[in-house]
Structure 1
């Protein structure tokens, strides 16, 4: 099975340099990954590097804590799309979800989706901080708000993707939303396990290792 079309090739570390982003894009072209995933500042650079290809640019918004105001997240998402991003990976407001402020969380997701129109919106849950009930609620809110994907993790929390969480998410949304697994996926065997559960995309900085092994 070719895994390249499932990979969002990712560099989101705080120390990422301009050269790191250029290298990321070079690797994405060499290995024909689906997308690169970068911080909002680097969207224009990634778009420029990939302009003559079909590789998409995904941008993280409200990253990695999710606790920015809705207005700031919307502006960040709009700027990313204006600069060439075709996918937005937003961190939902984790604290408000845990506080039970579900309408505010849902409205924020809806506002960002409205701002980016036809571009894909992925809602990052950061499952390591959520109870089972909160994960289910996050699925419901994302579905109600018109998101396109739900995503397990930022990769910067206390834990990443788990098969159990992806199964729970799949059970909640069925085929109504796509799922992106991210955080700690570093080898082909693990990636295949997630794809077998119905994941549509793998977010990883280990894409080359994943596709280079048999």
Structure 2
């Protein structure tokens, strides 16, 4: 198993969030692209304003690394119309994968019909343009029961409205990594939440994001049914493999 091919190497901070200059923030993206080429990650996940630059860098060396970006990040509270408009702009940039933040607050408030429509319309747009779509449910904001329900809901919308092959292009993703928790609780993927998603969203794909920072955790996530791991520690995961130098 090549763990590097499970990794979505991620840098999603804006310059202001990182408390650095725009030039310094761009350099972080450039460094991540160079790293992605060396370690042959599955994908690099970045903000849309960097896609053109990154695509040029990857094309120059004929790298197979895919490019993904986020939609309605990180709170997910925009209207479906706004999400679709933002997604269309990303598709025009020719990204490979789009990670949408589900309106989890609307879901928690009981607006199930909105979530169903959101999943339907965003999936329809992405599949029509041959793009992979991921739905971030923000597990740290949900109870275990809510994780089960929303995972099943996304699965049912996809399987009831698209062919079986669509399941291979639709992910349920755990987290943005930006959610603020109290009492130092995890704000990203945990073994418990990933197990719940895997049990209730399959045959859709699963992406664990937030909190996966080492090789052992990555392997455990994969054993729980994860198909992709979003992490800002991709290099560390590859470098710290337990005497498996040929595993990347």
Task: Output the TM-score relative to the length of structure 1.
Answer: 0.95
Give structure 1 stretches of 5+ with no counterpart.
none
**Number of residue pairs matched by the alignment:** 213
| Cα offset, 1:81, TM superposition | 1.6
In structure 2, the residue matched to 1:55 is 65
Quick one: distance in 1 between partners of 2:79 and 2:41?
A: 32
In structure 1, the residue matched to 2:32 is 24
Matched, 1:111 2:121: yes
Matched, 1:102 2:73: no
Quick one: distance in 1 between partners of 2:149 and 2:132?
A: 21
Q: Structure 1 residue aligned with 2:192, among 152, 164, 181? A: 164
In structure 2, the residue matched to 1:154 is 176
Kept after mapping to 1: 8 A contact 2:172/2:201? no
In structure 1, the residue matched to 2:144 is 132
| Cα offset, 1:164, TM superposition | 0.5
In structure 2, the residue matched to 1:10 is 10
Q: Structure 1 residue aligned with 2:49, among 41, 44, 64? A: 41
Quick one: distance in 2 between partners of 1:138 and 1:43?
A: 30
Quick one: distance in 2 between partners of 1:170 and 1:204?
A: 19
SS at match of 1:68: coil
Q: Structure 2 residue aligned with 1:194, among 221, 227, 236? A: 221
SS at match of 1:67: coil
In structure 1, the residue matched to 2:204 is 177
Give structure 2 stretches of 5+ with no counterpart.
19-24, 159-166, 182-186, 243-248
Tell which structure's C-alpha radius of gyration is larger.
Answer: 2
Matched, 1:203 2:213: no
| Cα offset, 1:25, TM superposition | 0.9
Task: Output the TM-score relative to the length of structure 2.
Answer: 0.82
> RMSD value over aligned CA atoms?
1.3
Quick one: distance in 2 between partners of 1:192 and 1:115?
A: 33
Quick one: distance in 2 between partners of 1:142 and 1:49?
A: 35
Pick which of 131-140 and 183-192 moved more: 131-140
Quick one: distance in 1 between partners of 2:103 and 2:54?
A: 27
| Cα offset, 1:6, TM superposition | 0.5
SS at match of 2:106: helix
Quick one: distance in 2 between partners of 1:110 and 1:84?
A: 21
